[in-house]
Amino acid sequence: MMTESAESEATGKAGLKVGAAAPEFELHGDDGKLHRLSEFRGRTVVLYFYPRDNTPGCTQESCNFRDHSAAYAEKGAVVIGISPDSVASHQKFKEKFALNFLLLADPGAQVAARYGAWGEKNMYGKKSMGLIRSTFVIGGDGRLTAVYRQVKVAGHVQKVLGGLAG
């Protein structure tokens, strides 16, 4: 079982690891526009997958990214959140918590699956398929510079920030 502490060596079900090319995607954002990963080429992207808008852990993680957005910007990084929720859900979530970064809708979780952020979860002994909280740092060249799997919310945003160059 992989934990967040193994981020630099992590490989997931999709086989993604540090140094690999980040899978391209095209998803609708909370701004109503269609976004591709390639539009951020040349910038560091912190791509975090979270299970659901307006749930305690996901709200805390998103608000932590919001609260540290200036520090991420100082390091030249753009933060993007992805979940299976709809664009409308993202719009409400973003407004409710004054989130200051892009949220992308992945309703079929196809992008999450390509990143290895969709799979079997075990909660209180019950196994189910779902989104696995994960964060990927993508360098300006489109390659993964860090991979964080099975993320625990507490301290995660600071840990990712501390690992960024700049």
Residues known to be catalytic: 58
Q: Please identify which residue in the block is written with the tokens 């999709």.
A: 14
Q: Which residues contact 17 (CB under 8 A, 6 or more apart)?
A: 9, 10, 11, 144, 147
Beta bridge partners of 103: 81
What's the DSSP call for residue 132?
Answer: P
Q: How many C-beta atoms lie closer than 10 Å to residue 53's C-beta?
A: 25
Dihedral sign from CA coordinates of 88, 117, 67, 143 = negative
Q: Could you tell me which of 48, 60, 68 has the C-alpha nearest to residue 162?
A: 68
